[in-house]
Amino acid sequence: MTVDYMIGGSHASMYYGEPRVTRDVDVIVALGRDRLAEFLHHVPADTFYVDADTAAEAIEARAQFTIIHAASGLKIDVYINPDTPYDWTRPARRQRLPLVEGVSAYFARPEDVILYKLLYHRQVESSMHLRDIVGILRLSGSELDLPYLEEWADRLGVRSVWEQLRKHVE
């Protein structure tokens, strides 16, 4: 089974920026209810816990559900990719990057990690998201697609915070 996915959130921001402690892995998926049973079949029940009803509700609401690794307690938050013009662009931009020798995974692009961190900051005003963005700017800033980032920052209404963070890092 192939499901379009990408790692986002704090793990992606650490990949492009600075390390920090985090409690979960955020994975964004393109998953419909018609493929949920097949998806869950690939999540070994003896190793991971996932509630199928909650997953089905998340797909319908385009929200999120959680998979928990029983032995370690690691949480994987599975986000159903929202149905917005911006969110349609993200999966096509993802990139495959190495995790450990011989293993790679798809990650959200750094610009999209920044944009989502700006959106999350607007919702909860957490300085953690801003610190993640500053870390990305410090380590990967020269590689960012600024025209893309600024266009979407304008369209998403987060341009002023973006500009403040850029000035802070310069």
Render pLDDT for 13-64 as a digit per residue (tens, 0 to 9): 999 999 888 878 999 999 999 999 999 999 999 999 999 999 999 999 999 9
Predicted confidence at residue 1, as pLDDT, reads 62
Tokens of 10: 């704090």
Tokens of 124: 């909860």
Predicted confidence at residue 161, as pLDDT, reads 95
DSSP 30: E
How far apart (Å, rounded) are the C-alpha atoms in residues 120 and 60? 22
3-state secondary structure of 159: helix
pLDDT > 70 in the chain, percent: 99
pTM of the model: 0.91
Is the predicted pLDDT of residue 10 greater than 80, yes or no? yes
Predicted confidence at residue 99, as pLDDT, reads 86
Angle at which helix 159-169 crosses helix 110-124, to 10 degrees, equals: 110
Tokens of 122: 């607007």
Higher pLDDT, 115 or 2: 115
Tokens of 81: 């990719």
Query: 3-state SS of 87-138?
Result: HHHHHHHCEEEEEECCEEEEECCHHHHHHHHHHHHHHHCCHHHHHHHHHHHH
Domains by residue range for the chain, with CATH: 4-169 (3.30.460.40)
Predicted confidence at residue 2, as pLDDT, reads 74
Nearest to 130 by CA among 167, 161, 86, 170: 161
- Do residues 167 and 133 lie in contact, with contact meaning Cβ atoms separated by under 8 Å? no
- Do residues 48 and 69 lie in contact, with contact meaning Cβ atoms separated by under 8 Å? yes
Is the predicted pLDDT of residue 6 greater than 70, yes or no? yes
